[in-house]
Structure 1
Amino acid sequence: MAKFPEGRYTMVNASVRESYGGATRSQLLRARLFAQNAGQSVDVITFDVYPEYESERHLLAEAGLTCPGVSLLNLHEELSSETDLERFRNTDSTNIPEWFHSLSDIPFVMEYTSSGQPWRRKYDATGTNRSFFFSYLRPDGTVYATIDRRIGGTDWDRNERGTVVVRNDGSPIGFYARKSALISRWIKILGEGETDHFLIFDSKESGYLIAEENRETNQHFILLAHTPHLQPPRQWDSPPASFDWGETMKSLALWDGFVVLSEAHKNDLNLRYGDRNNIYVIPHPAVDIVPDTDSTKRDPDLALIVCRLENQKRLQDAIHAFAHVLEKRPTARLEIYGTGSKLQEWTDLVKSLNISNSVLFMGYEPRPERQYERASVFIMTSLFEAQPLSLLEALAHGCPIVSYDIKYGPAEMVRQGSNGFLSPEGNIKTLSEDILRVFSSDIATMSASSIDLARQFSVPIFLDKWCRLFESVKIQKAQRVSIISSSLEVQRVSAVGASPIAIALSNEGIGVRLRASHLRIGGRLIVTALYEGADRPAGLRVAVRIHSTEGEVQYLPNTLSELEDDNQFDLNWTIAEDDLSRLRSNASLFYEVTWNNDQRLLEIPLDAELFLNLSASNHKDLAEGAS
């Protein structure tokens, strides 16, 4: 059994429902594995105002999504039943906003739970039925919190939608201008008395706002990324995939641990945000890996898809590809398990292609493992993933795979030609050919290869990686830094193997054009950072890089030596002749400062003319540096 560090373990999400999809289910699976395989109690905490969590607990337990040792807590349930509300005091009652005191003059509408219990009072602030205050009620009918919802949108932005926490007698006890501040106080209360409180966030929307709040020294904040952080074409330098992703990446240095599900995802993060010590790779686990499968039970003509029927899954490509498959293998069948908003559209597409007898929509399947063990090929055509759970389930049950080579995940779960094939994204013709290749392959051998690969994602390996993360974030806490600024002044350029190939006169003097095997460039680097201890933490690393317009990154040889001033360094790097030509055409030069959990990536202030026309005064130095 895995042995985690002593402490409290909390998994954080805005809301949890039995009906939710992959991110919530992976969070609950993680909580169960911690409880069952590491003996570690876990609280799953939520913040939504939802009066039916008691029923939800029963649904989750019946579905096997929770287990003993996993508790589901909700902020509003806690506020409505808390006997020591004084712990939520954060301001003198004289600072309670005026709108709270004025509610007695505004009529309200009472709203009820499904069981008929009074739930909240709804105040129409402007009489337009568009702007509201809400007072939430205890079972005895008294108010425990009043929220200003006159501003639209969600709770997860920086607008101030104040919450007033209220005593049983109706008097206010505390005011929180942002919901994240109230949650931060609750998290502090939950972790009081603990040496270490490990908090795993599965929601970036709420996570980055809570991370911005002041935290306790015993708290370790860990965020798990369930989706790619980049827009198409999803190169390392593509813009953030959404506003929330942009804000999350700005706050990357605030996280004690930032967890991604694949090495490819981490590689892209490293290129843009540095190889920080707070970025970890922990894939989802493959649970219930079958030791072997009987390939004779597999239908040699059956292909399988298990997914939500939503735009992200791009099933139109799979359907068109299967139409091509049927031209060469008329006996083939595709069964699609899942529900969603695109069902009718994709059903109509199947009809229009005249393949309704061969492509079947089977609805929701609560036990997809039964289907993975029947099929001879699993197909995935998603637009993007982080680490698709369906592929992991297919691996664990020995199903060969054909998948688009998308970011992220498939490339780490498919060995080309061994347990399936990766098809170029969007290439329907190749996708259909790869499906036919699996159908005509030795399915037993491919199935065994899938199971072998699944063992790399086993539960013991998964738990060991989490244990190592918890141990490392504790150690690294004292090494955290915040880089305030960095600057580089280029002071010297010398050419190695240089010879003049042209001399020209200009108003600025004599210009000398050189051919050099490489250039040596040096300058003074100044890095200013904040850190808690008296001594500067170790871990400062500097790299010089060339960026092409196509997104390629090349690192250049460099040396770094400290000067007498403790925040100044001498940086020297070498540019080869081939790279000089690239810099003259379509590339740029950057330097990257990575210091434990923080990073800066800045273009080097080096005039490109230095590579072409060096002044006569510099030419002497260049000649002396030649060899």
Structure 2
Amino acid sequence: MKEKITIFCLLNSLDLQRGGLTKASLMQANTFASLGYKTFILTFNFNQRYNTIIEQMVTMGKIDSRIQILNMYQSLGEFDYSSIVPQPMMEIEKSKANGAILDPHIGQPHSYRVYENGMYTKYFRLDENKRLFFMDHFNEQRYRVKREDYDEYGYARKVSYMDYERNKPRQMVFYNDTGEAFLSKWVNPQNGLAFRVNLFKDGKLKRIFSNDNELKGYWLEQVTSSYENPVIISDARICDSLVINLKSEQAVKIWRLHSNHLDMKGEIASTVATAFDNLQEFDVALALTNQQKKDIEDRFGTKDNLKAIPHAADQFTEYNWFAPVKKENLAVVVTRFAAIKRIDHIILAFKHVVDRVPAARLELWGYGDEEKNLKSLIRSENLTANVKVMGFTQNPAEPYQRSLFSVMASKTEGFPLSIFESMSNGSPIVTYDFKYGPGDLIDNGEDGWIVPNEDIQALAEKMIWMFENKKEAIKMGKKAVKKVKENFNLDLYAKQWDEVIEEAVKKKMAHYIQQ
């Protein structure tokens, strides 16, 4: 049966620094490949460095080499990186040869302003390999008139023509390996949305679309229509409408929920509203926990297509229960630096911790928009000696294994993968009580601590307890590893997915035959 099924995992984008949703989606795709399914990951954004990004992710073991990655722009442009000839790296030399003056942009590595006979004409940036990344062009009034985006081989892949007043694109043109345009967009500079998309083929205007979503839907149909039993999984909310509107009668449509479905007012979150309004269009809708599945059914009634598959841990720290374990006097946070994660609560709680345990340390691992605010808060609370912002890590197991425990204070989650990563690496969690995750996995006082939501003092007290009762904290970590290993391992995860896919395909085939 597997050889007749092709799985398409839909994500808007892929990159080396991404959060839990991307990690979870890659775990799914890797699991499908290991089970023997022909597996694709489809992405829809423009990124001129995709080829290098994917190569690095495969080399790092983030993506199974059996998975095929297709990007909409590379596919429509028929990019062929197997035979492409890199362009020479000459931008600096060429500019100087033409008599231009280069002014390095302080604070922006490999970035230069270009002056020609006193006139500011260009601004360009090179990548880490000194190849051209982008170039901006300016007119005599110092308006930016266009930006050229280059791939890692020195080829211009996109040119954006700017609106003078707003300095935003009005028209974008995309180019193939030979420099021929295969796509252009007319863009509203006020909102960045395309209102006309032109697809070219063999020197002719092939199709016209009224927006980007129509183009994405067209490409999705083209990619999936040639497969007998396509299974299409929407992991990113930007892809939900594409799957809903897919016309294929044979396609199995699966919706994978990665977050809490409610906003802070208890209403259906705007990000998932489209999917909930069209829940019947999916052959399978997947929640992350049985509690979330129950909450959805309490609100909408029993749904035959609603199921739950939790995350899984893909590696475990092996402990000898009786052997001593070395742990630093350290707590860690590994997450995206976003307001919804409430890392500021953790920092404020740690102020109380340091008052009682002066040697206690906290490391914040991640990236995001809140980084500047977090660093400012650390300084204002005089915690620079105890709290460090460490940056993004490709190997979260390392800080977890060094730490005595980890901390979470999110407003809301679907079922954060970081819970599994922490517990499976022997780092029990001190966390607020929020939906969904802590209550589904942690036995309070046995393999972690759950404190009342928004209670900063309670969060601090449990952290203090962990530092002051180090041996007990280490025992908690061992129990956490044991629980996750027994109940949330990859074998169980793969079995659940296998059953869901096989059942959904059989139902779809039976329905299709009846038609």
* TM-score of the two chains, using structure 1 as the length reference: 0.65
Task: Kindly report which structure 2 residues correspond to 1:459-538, keeping only aligned pairs within 5 A, or say none.
Answer: 459-477=490-508
1:300 CA displacement:
6.4
- On the 8 A contact 1:293/1:447 being kept in 2, the answer is no
Residue 140 of structure 1 corresponds to 178
Task: Kindly report which structure 2 residues correspond to 1:335-484, keeping only aligned pairs within 5 A, or say none.
Answer: 335-439=363-467, 440=469, 442-455=472-485, 456-477=487-508
SS of 1:77's equivalent in the other structure is helix
1:527-574, CA deviations, whole angstroms, 9 ceiling, x for partnerless residues? Answer: xxxx9979xxxxxxxxxxxxxxxxxxxxxxxxxxxxxxxxxxxxxxxx
Please tell me whether residue 161 in structure 1 is matched to residue 159 in structure 2.
no
Q: Find 2:21's aligned residue among 20, 23, 46.
A: 23
- On the 8 A contact 2:150/2:156 being kept in 1, the answer is yes
Q: Find 1:307's aligned residue among 316, 335, 342.
A: 335
Question: Any gaps of 5 or more consecutive residues in structure 2?
Answer: 81-144
1:178-218, CA deviations, whole angstroms, 9 ceiling, x for partnerless residues? Answer: 4333333333333344331011111112322x134242122
- On the 8 A contact 2:8/2:232 being kept in 1, the answer is yes
In the aligned structure 2, how far is the partner of 1:429 from the partner of 1:127? 50
In the aligned structure 2, how far is the partner of 1:129 from the partner of 1:418? 57
Q: Which has the larger radius of gyration?
A: 1
In the aligned structure 2, how far is the partner of 1:18 from the partner of 1:329? 36
1:221 CA displacement:
1.4
Q: What residue identity is the alignment partner of 1:197?
A: P
1:353-402, CA deviations, whole angstroms, 9 ceiling, x for partnerless residues? Answer: 33333333333333221222222221111122111122111111122211
Cα distance change, pair 468–333 in 1 and its aligned pair in 2 (3 A): same
1:495-531, CA deviations, whole angstroms, 9 ceiling, x for partnerless residues? Answer: xxxxxxxxxxxxxxxxxxxxxxxxxxxxxxxxxxxx9
- On the 8 A contact 1:9/1:197 being kept in 2, the answer is yes
Residue 91 of structure 2 corresponds to none
In the aligned structure 2, how far is the partner of 1:126 from the partner of 1:397? 53
Residue 227 of structure 1 corresponds to 259
* TM-score of the two chains, using structure 2 as the length reference: 0.78
Residue 315 of structure 2 corresponds to 288
Task: Kindly report which structure 2 residues correspond to 1:324-343, keeping only aligned pairs within 5 A, or say none.
Answer: 324-343=352-371
1:476 CA displacement:
4.3
Residue 172 of structure 1 corresponds to 205
Cα distance change, pair 4–379 in 1 and its aligned pair in 2 (3 A): farther
1:62-99, CA deviations, whole angstroms, 9 ceiling, x for partnerless residues? Answer: 3322232112111221221289xxxxxxxxxxxxxxxx
Q: What residue identity is the alignment partner of 1:80?
A: G
- On the 8 A contact 1:321/1:429 being kept in 2, the answer is yes
1:431 CA displacement:
1.3
Q: What residue identity is the alignment partner of 1:69?
A: R
**Which segment drifts farther, 190-199 or 446-455?**
190-199
Task: Kindly report which structure 2 residues correspond to 1:593-604, keeping only aligned pairs within 5 A, or say none.
Answer: none
- On the 8 A contact 1:133/1:147 being kept in 2, the answer is yes
Provide the aligned C-alpha RMSD in A: 3.0
Task: Kindly report which structure 2 residues correspond to 1:240-319, keeping only aligned pairs within 5 A, or say none.
Answer: 240-242=268-270, 244-292=271-319, 296-299=324-327, 301-319=329-347
Task: Kindly report which structure 2 residues correspond to 1:198-213, keeping only aligned pairs within 5 A, or say none.
Answer: 198-208=231-241, 210-213=242-245
Q: What residue identity is the alignment partner of 2:429?
A: I
1:322 CA displacement:
2.0
- On the 8 A contact 1:125/1:150 being kept in 2, the answer is no
Cα distance change, pair 110–290 in 1 and its aligned pair in 2 (3 A): closer
1:459 CA displacement:
0.2
1:130 CA displacement:
5.5
- On the 8 A contact 1:10/1:45 being kept in 2, the answer is yes
In the aligned structure 1, how far is the partner of 2:404 from the partner of 2:166? 59
In the aligned structure 2, how far is the partner of 1:120 from the partner of 1:335? 40
- On the 8 A contact 2:169/2:187 being kept in 1, the answer is yes
Please tell me whether residue 183 in structure 1 is matched to residue 183 in structure 2.
no
Percent identity, aligned pairs only, is: 22
Residue 48 of structure 1 corresponds to 45
1:463 CA displacement:
0.6
In the aligned structure 2, how far is the partner of 1:291 from the partner of 1:4? 33
Question: Any gaps of 5 or more consecutive residues in structure 1?
Answer: 84-107, 481-530, 535-627
Residue 59 of structure 1 corresponds to 56
Size of the aligned set, in residue pairs, is: 446
Cα distance change, pair 161–379 in 1 and its aligned pair in 2 (3 A): same
In the aligned structure 2, how far is the partner of 1:116 from the partner of 1:137? 13
1:424 CA displacement:
0.7
Q: What residue identity is the alignment partner of 1:113?
A: Y
Residue 119 of structure 2 corresponds to none
1:59 CA displacement:
2.5
Cα distance change, pair 414–112 in 1 and its aligned pair in 2 (3 A): closer
Cα distance change, pair 341–127 in 1 and its aligned pair in 2 (3 A): closer
